[in-house]
Structure 1
Amino acid sequence: MAVMEALNAGAQEAVCMSREGYVAECTGDNIFVVKDRVVKTPHPSCGILKGITRDAVIQLAREMGLEVEEGHLTRYDLYTADEIFLTGTAAE
């Protein structure tokens, strides 16, 4: 339903929130935020799907020397991010 709502609003994707109001994931993708060279992604406790591609991106980022944090992201984190990217094995 979220993707249909997004498409009706002219967007290509929707950001889904947890019951507690934290960023969880997109409709078929995991979401990552980059701020000041720190890669942040929602913690599994937010109800996300712990995907293979998500785990690979976390591992590669750490191998590149980037700090990776799994935590509770808010809308503010999205609005103030330097970069946002999505990953999804099936979504490509």
Structure 2
Amino acid sequence: MSRKHKAQVHVLTIQQHEMAMGYTDDDESNEATLNYFLEMFYSHHSFEENEDIEKGILNYIEKHDMDMLAIMPRTHLPGSEASEGRLTRLLTLHSNVPLLVLD
């Protein structure tokens, strides 16, 4: 179905602090993994800075006329420490597109 409709996946990383995003060894490894698993559906990876992560995500969705939002919770914390899921709850309440949580 994805091929029939020429689906594309945009990957968005939002940092709350200014830093060199996309250039670390972890960033390069993640990029290679995305290319491997998503193949032709992987469009690009955007790096943006925004103090309000939810607002940054919602602005990106609107700016790029996205059809769906998929998030991977807990990827923003060091080690295996789990968050309370605040961002997921906020996006569930405020997103105007369907939300897929990849847990």
Rg larger for: 2
Which structure has more RCO (C-alpha within 8 Å, separation ≥ 6)?
1
Above 0.5 in TM-score?
Answer: no
Query: Structure 2 length as normaliser, TM-score?
Result: 0.34
More strand by share: 1
Query: Structure 1 length as normaliser, TM-score?
Result: 0.36
